[in-house]
Amino acid sequence: MPHYSLQQLKNFANEIFRYAEYRIQNHELHITLNRPEKMNAMNPQFIREIAFLLDYARAENSIWIVVVRAKGKVFSAGADLKAFAGQDTDDGISTIPLPEREVVLGEAFSGLHKPCLAVVEKNVYAGAFLIVCGCTHVLAADQAMFSLPEGLRGIWPMQVMASLLRLMAKRKALELCLRTEPLSAGEAMKCGLVSEVLPAGQLEERARQLAESWKKLSPSAVRIGLETFEQLADLPESEQQRFLHGRLQEVLQTEDAREGLKAFAEKRQPVWKGR
């Protein structure tokens, strides 16, 4: 469920972002976490900006892929603890409106229903796991580390638990919450947190390759497929096949499906519209 209405998103091109940079090109929305002086720690305004961008990507038919990066020496330190302790940490102008409901970052990513790629060059801490877990694919530099230090601060990674359980077994998720030392990128890949580990210098080329490969797929089929994947977890096994059959019929009614079948018969590449 989106956090922002379509009416709020209409002024997207004129909004001023303080902490999140973005660019749109070739059906891709590129988001850059840009609060390096605070290790990209996310205060409420920062979180609203990320949610606003994701809701826009979800609503905008011309955007097929989202890519998330970060500036600075840390991918993100997670939540800005000073802000969540009640201190005002906003330090610049942002015109992003207040959402229609409180932003839950994990929901913002799970509700995107479009391929989302995280390019992780530096360390990931605490609530930033919500971004990494929320993406459909994660590229990590071989020197990046992943850590949940909340217990050492008298807190617990509450929302992160739900995100971890989407990726791994319960015991492994609990192990990460109780772990005091960071995970290496290789260990993060073994437990399903990371998709691929590469030298830092190869991340951007691999990200480009992945984006180009995903754009060969029908955007409407991918969107419906990812939405269906999200819904499937809430259904008992006895209802899943009938539900999936209905969703397949929905996909077959799309303009992209008609174009894909026609292109196959004509032995040419399809021209996707995302409808």
Q: How many Cβ atoms from other residues are within 10 Å of residue 152's Cβ?
A: 9
152 and 130 in a common domain: yes
> How far apart, in whole angstroms, are the C-alpha atoms of residue 207 and residue 176?
27
Residues 210 and 223 in one domain: no
Residue 274 lies in a domain: no
Say whether both 193 and 243 belong to one domain: no
Report which secondary-structure segment, H or E, holds 204.
Answer: helix 203-214
Cβ atoms 160, 184 nearer than 8 A = no
> Which of 87 and 258 is assigned the larger pLDDT?
258
Judge if 32 and 75 occupy the same domain: yes
In a domain, 270, yes or no: no
**Shared domain check, 203 and 250:** no
- The predicted pLDDT at position 17 comes to 96
pLDDT of residue 89 exceeding 70 = no
Residue-wise pLDDT tens digits, 138-196:
999 999 999 999 999 899 999 999 999 999 999 999 999 999 999 999 999 999 999 99
DSSP-based three-state secondary structure for 130? helix
On the question of pLDDT at 92 being above 80, the answer is no
Residue 1 has pLDDT above 90, yes or no: no
For the chain, what percent of residues have pLDDT higher than 90?
93
| Sign (positive or negative) of CA dihedral 184, 188, 190, 191 | positive
Of 9, 29, 7, the C-alpha closest to 20 is 29
Question: Per residue in 189-243, pLDDT tens?
Answer: 999 999 999 999 999 999 999 999 999 999 999 999 999 999 998 899 999 999 9
Question: Do both 18 and 129 map to the same domain?
Answer: yes
Give Rg (Cα) of the chain: 19
Range of the domain at 261: 219-265
Q: Is residue 268's pLDDT more than 90? A: yes
- For residues 207 and 243, state if they share a domain: no
Tell me how far apart the alpha carbons of residues 197 and 122 are, in angstroms, rounded to a whole number: 12
pLDDT surpasses 90 at 91: no
Q: Is residue 79 part of a domain?
A: yes
Interior angle at CA 17, CA 70 and CA 112, nearest 5: 65
Number of domains in the chain: 2
Residue 94 lies in a domain: yes
Distance in angstroms (rounded) separating the CA atoms of residues 77 and 79: 7
> Residue 206's beta-bridge partner residues?
none
Q: Which residue has the tokens 């390019």?
A: 119
Q: Say yes or no: 100 and 199 in one domain.
A: yes
Domain co-membership, 194 together with 238 = no
- Residue 160 near residue 127 (C-beta atoms within 8 A): yes
Q: What is the pLDDT of residue 112?
A: 96
Residue 232 CB-half CA count within 13 A = 16
Question: 3-state class of 107 per DSSP?
Answer: helix
Q: Among 48-57, 88-97, 139-148, 207-216, which stretch is predicted with the lowest mean pLDDT? A: 88-97
Question: Residue 10 sits in a domain of what CATH number?
Answer: 3.90.226.10
Which of 214, 232, 255 delimits the end of a domain? 214
Domain co-membership, 120 together with 242? no
* Confidence (pLDDT) at 86: 73
Domain match, 161 and 91 both: yes
Looking at residues 13-33, what average pLDDT do you find? 96
Residue 130 has pLDDT above 70, yes or no: yes
In sequence order, the 6+-apart residues with CB closer than 8 A to the CB of 267 are: none
Q: Phi and psi dihedrals of 167, rounded to 5?
A: -115, -20
pLDDT of residue 84 exceeding 80 = no
pLDDT band at 82 (very low <50, low <70, confident <90, very high): confident
Query: End of a domain among 194, 214, 234?
Result: 214
Same domain for 202 and 171: yes
> Where is the domain boundary, 174, 190, 214?
214
